[in-house]
């Protein structure tokens, strides 16, 4: 059958569910749901030129592409395209058609550099390199069996520090936004980001359908947030770590371990049985923290880049 590539249809549940289904099959280490996908599309920043695409065979969604400009980067012309094809439908041209459509859209929108995450498997890497992409850095996916893990025991926070949850900031989440912006500014990566749009953060982070405020732990010192770990859950027993960050002035005090441990204990008590997280392969401090909890590497992905002139 012929492969057809098209834009997703806003408000059509079948598109959102199909998109999420492919993502779960191709990348099972990240949480994905149709509700989350539809929410993201509805709140995409206009400067991102976001254009989600799907590939269909016989009316079935078999491939997806995440396509956008890095609107929050201080460097202009940077975009990203992540292509995923359902494992049962690879080798039929869907990935190539999706990538071609994505590149045309982004270069017309002003992109000169495109980044893409690719699972570290021979076929995937060969696909990226065949289309002119060069590998740069890499990252690990890690998994923890919460049902059987011997989590480190909870410990009392150091003097002057107290633990709260994101739910405690429901009336005014701005302090969490400010901490998120502060820690994101020096997060390792090849595309710098600056969080300055509070309303957009509220819509895409605070109101994200998978964001679990009760399981997101925040450390406070002198009444203000200084460290946090963001939790996502899918209602199916799966827990995913989002950003874990500590304000620069409070690093080196074990607060990352403190908040992550508290969140994992909360997650297990809430019925979560699997926990996932990710780290750059060179981020030894956070890899050490996650090994301490019992996380094990379950997959690796490579960051690829292509420059257009």
Q: What percent of the chain has pLDDT over 90?
A: 86
- The pLDDT tens digits of the residues spanning 171-218 come to 999 999 999 999 987 765 565 566 778 999 999 999 999 999 999 999
Residue 137 has pLDDT above 80, yes or no: yes
- To the nearest whole number, what is the mean pLDDT of the chain? 93
Please choose, from the candidates 147, 163, 140, 117, the residue with its C-alpha nearest in 3D space to the C-alpha of residue 291: 140
- Give the pLDDT mean for 102-117: 97
**Is residue 6 scored above 60 in pLDDT?**
yes
Backbone angles phi, psi at 263, to 5 degrees: -65, -40
Helix (H, G, I), strand (E, B) or coil at 228: strand
Q: CB count, 10 Å around CB of 6? A: 12
Residue in the structure block whose two tokens are 């998978």? 210
Please tell me the predicted confidence (pLDDT) of residue 190.
61
The helices-and-strands tally (H runs, E runs) of the chain is 8, 12
Which of the two residues, 131 and 242, has the higher pLDDT score? 131
Cα(102)–Cα(108) distance, integer angstroms: 10
Predicted pLDDT of residue 71: 87
Structural domains present in the chain: 3-111 (3.40.630.30), 144-300 (3.40.630.30)
Residue 266, pLDDT score: 97
Q: d(Cα 15, Cα 17) in Å, to the nearest integer?
A: 5
């Amino acid at each position: 059958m012929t492969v057809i590539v098209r834009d997703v249809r806003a408000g059509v549940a079948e598109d959102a569910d199909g998109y999420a289904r492919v993502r779960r099959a191709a990348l099972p280490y990240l949480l994905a749901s149709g509700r989350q996908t539809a929410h993201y599309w509805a709140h995409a920043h206009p400067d991102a030129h976001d254009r989600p695409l799907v590939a269909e065979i016989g009316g079935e969604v078999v491939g997806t592409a995440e396509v956008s400009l890095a609107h929050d980067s201080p460097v202009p012309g940077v975009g990203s395209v992540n292509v995923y094809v359902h494992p049962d439908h690879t080798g039929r041209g869907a990935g190539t058609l999706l990538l071609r459509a994505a590149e045309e859209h982004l270069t017309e929108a002003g992109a000169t550099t495109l980044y893409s995450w690719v699972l570290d498997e021979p076929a995937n890497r060969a696909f990226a390199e065949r289309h002119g992409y060069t590998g740069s850095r890499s990252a690990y996916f890690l998994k923890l069996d919460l049902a059987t893990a011997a989590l480190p025991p909870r410990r009392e926070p150091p003097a002057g520090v107290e633990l709260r949850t994101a739910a405690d900031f429901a009336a005014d989440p701005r302090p969490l936004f400010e901490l998120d912006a502060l820690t994101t500014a020096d997060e390792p990566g090849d595309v710098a980001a600056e969080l300055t749009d509070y309303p957009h953060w509220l819509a895409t982070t605070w109101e994200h359908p998978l964001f679990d405020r009760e399981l997101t732990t925040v450390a406070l010192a002198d009444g203000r947030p200084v460290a946090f770990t963001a939790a996502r859950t899918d209602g199916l027993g799966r827990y995913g770590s989002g950003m874990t960050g500590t304000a620069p002035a409070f690093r080196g005090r074990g607060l990352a371990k403190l908040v992550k441990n508290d969140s994992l204990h909360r997650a297990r008590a809430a019925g979560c049985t699997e926990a996932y997280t990710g780290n750059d392969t060179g981020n030894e401090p956070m890899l050490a923290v996650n090994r301490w909890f019992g996380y094990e590497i379950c997959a690796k992905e490579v960051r690829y880049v292509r420059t257009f002139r």
